[in-house]
Structure 1
């Protein structure tokens, strides 16, 4: 497995853990009450920070294990990796545009800041998740 594919897998795994964790914590804090009443901002910041830290740590650890097995191939990339990354980026951007339009719509109707912030947060998270899936599919099946 090449360097960029490993990092894509790490991002996918972290995102798959982060999204449900955030939802669970928010629902627990709401305790059956209105979600907009939850103090969501520190939870969101912690989730983002822990996701970044987990991605870095897992990438480094996985890279160390891969480097121990294949020192030359652990950090190698080629044109195919760049093409796959570009394609994944286009997929991510598509979902970010959709999330941005949703945020604009929420602002237009005067939604609470909780809903606006969470729409953007989930837009970023879902776009990263879908972009990672698109990259992994491209690594496994190739670019068309």
Structure 2
């Protein structure tokens, strides 16, 4: 398995786990309040921050392992990386447009933040899935 494919698996797993933890924290912190009034900022910042730390640590770890094995990224790895990034970036755009529309309709900050976070997670997940599929089945 290529190092970049391992990184894609790690990113997909951390995005899913981090978002699941966030959802559980928000839902258990409701205490009878409406969802839009639930405190979410702390859980949001912690799960995003820990996801970033996890991504950096696994990236360094896989990079060291690849260097020890004498592996380097080649043209195929770079092309697959660009392909996955393009797939993932589409969800960032969708999230930005959705958040802008919600802001124009003066929707609660809770929903705007959660739409953005969900789209960041979908970006990481689908971008990673596209990379994994390209490694397994070849480029489309």
Q: Scaled by the length of structure 2, what TM-score is found?
A: 0.90
Match of 2:121 in 1: 125
Gaps of 5+ in 1: none
Among 113, 119, 141, the alignment partner of 2:137 is 141
Mapping of 1:69-88 within 5 angstroms? 71-73=69-71, 76-88=72-84
**1:63 Cα offset (Å):** 5.0
How many residues are aligned here?
140
The one-character-per-residue Cα deviations of 1:57-90 (angstroms, maximum 9, x if unpaired) are 334445556666xx212xx111111111111111
Query: Whole-Å Cα distance in 2 between the matches of residues 83 and 67 of structure 1?
Result: 20
RMSD over aligned Cα, in angstroms? 1.7
**1:100 Cα offset (Å):** 1.3
Contact 1:14/1:54, CA 8 A, preserved across alignment? yes
Match of 2:58 in 1: 58
**1:55 Cα offset (Å):** 2.0
Query: Whole-Å Cα distance in 1 between the matches of residues 38 and 92 of structure 2?
Result: 25
Q: Scaled by the length of structure 1, what TM-score is found?
A: 0.88
Query: Whole-Å Cα distance in 2 between the matches of residues 86 and 109 of structure 1?
Result: 35
Match of 2:105 in 1: 109
Q: What secondary structure does 1:9 align onto? A: helix
Gaps of 5+ in 2: none
Match of 1:5 in 2: 5
